[in-house]
Amino acid sequence: MTDTSESDEVKRTIIVPERVDMIHLLGHRDQVLRALERGLAPVRIHVIGHQISLSGPENTVELADTLLGELIDVATDGEQLTADAVERAISILKAGVARPSALMTTDILSTRGKTIRPKTLGQKVYVDAIDEHAITFGIGPAGTGKTYLAVAKAVVALQKKEVSRIILTRPAVEAGESLGFLPGSLSEKIDPYLRPLYDAMYDMLDPDSIPKLIAAGTIEVAPLAYMRGRTLNDAFVILDEAQNTTPEQMKMFLTRLGFGAKMVITGDVTQVDLPGRTTSGLILVRRILRDTPGIKFVELGSADVVRHKLVAEIIDAYARWNEAEEDIQQGYVGRKRSPR
């Protein structure tokens, strides 16, 4: 790398090793290069063969140099970069909280021709918490990978024989509907509630093996009510949509924890479907157990959404609207209580 200064502009040249495939580094049709130019502006980036030239303000050129070094390390391992991955890497590097290459090469599970890994810093904190704690709460909006990553960790734990079974459960509450009013048998009634858990499992395991594992009891997918009265030993247990538990149900579930077991509880406290003024067990347990050793609460946000970019913007817009509504309500209550 060479570095020269001209007035307030810095120029730097990076020589990419010949063994690095430039398509892996710059992306198909230079999509990664375009993402770098957008995210690192006003730095100008020029590529000729295996030589990358940078020019612009010193602090931004320094950032670009560091990032490209990280990306070259990733591409050297044969990993093909994507524009989305690079955009996330830029935000992580600007925040100065982690090395992007460490995040981009943290594999959880390789299966069926693809690799599952955390894609954001929040997701990395989440999967590390699952490794380090007996009970982990993943709280955040839709699209942050709460359930999917938990299922991936469960599959890995089963494959490594760290547990002997996986138990997936959800409360059967959806927009105020009652199971008694839904058509079909009990199995047909609960299936829609458990379908997201089935979908994640089928994405990670051979579909032909799953019915056999379920029949053998190695994988169990059941509504939360089926957990009552049990002690769950040597199991990886995932409670999904936990915002729809009552405080009593949450206490019941957590006290099922047995020897050699691990629990992951996921939910979105902005999407509570409990009827009336029922308190969410997830909201309450966060207040009760936040400082309890062995239990970790991980808060995921719009920055951890890995769906369409508009999803993060929608989440932020609703959060701003809710805050404004709360301010209005608090002002209204204050006016009502103030003496005349």
The answer to the question of residue 142 being in a domain is yes
pLDDT of residue 251: 96
Q: What SS3 state is found at 150?
A: helix
For residues 189 and 181, give the distance between their C-alpha atoms in angstroms, rounded to a whole number.
9
Shared-domain flag, residues 180 and 290? yes
Tokens of 12: 């730097």
The DSSP letter of residue 108 is: S
Cα separation, 175 vs 26, whole angstroms: 45
121 assigned to some structural domain: yes
Same-domain status, 86 and 113? no
Residue 220 lies in a domain: yes
pLDDT digits (tens, 9 = 90+) for 284-303: 999 999 999 999 999 998 87
Q: Are residues 84 and 140 in the same domain?
A: no
Q: Which residues, other chains included, contact 98 with Cβ-Cβ below 8 Å and sequence gap of 6+?
A: 92, 121, 124
* Same structural domain, 162 and 64: no
> Are residues 42 and 118 part of one domain?
no
Q: Are residues 158 and 190 in the same domain?
A: yes
CATH of residue 66's domain is 3.30.1370.10
Residues 240/266, Cβ–Cβ less than 8 Å: yes
Q: In the chain, how many domains are there?
A: 2
Domain identity same for 198 and 71: no
Within a domain: 294: yes
- Same domain, yes or no: 141 and 254: yes
Residue 325 counted as domain residue: no
Query: Looking at the domain assignment, is residue 323 inside a domain?
Result: no
pTM (predicted TM-score): 0.73
Same domain? 171 vs 53: no
Do the beta carbons of residue 246 and residue 278 sit within 8 Å?
yes
CATH number of the domain enclosing 247: 3.40.50.300
Q: Does residue 184 lie in a domain region?
A: yes
Q: Is residue 326 part of a domain?
A: no
Q: Are residues 120 and 13 in the same domain?
A: no
Query: pLDDT at position 280, please?
Result: 95
Q: Same domain for 99 and 114?
A: no
Going by the DSSP 8-state scheme, the letter that residue 177 receives in this structure is B
Does residue 15 sit in the same domain as residue 137?
no
Q: How far is 321 from 107, CA to CA, in rounded Å?
A: 37
Please enumerate in sequence order all residues whose Cβ is within 8 A of that of 187, keeping only pairs 6 or more positions apart, or say none: none
Segments forming the whole domain that contains residue 37? 2-104
pLDDT along the chain (340 residues), means of 10: 59 89 85 88 91 90 87 78 80 71 74 79 90 97 91 95 94 55 54 78 89 92 88 96 94 96 96 88 96 95 75 76 72 56
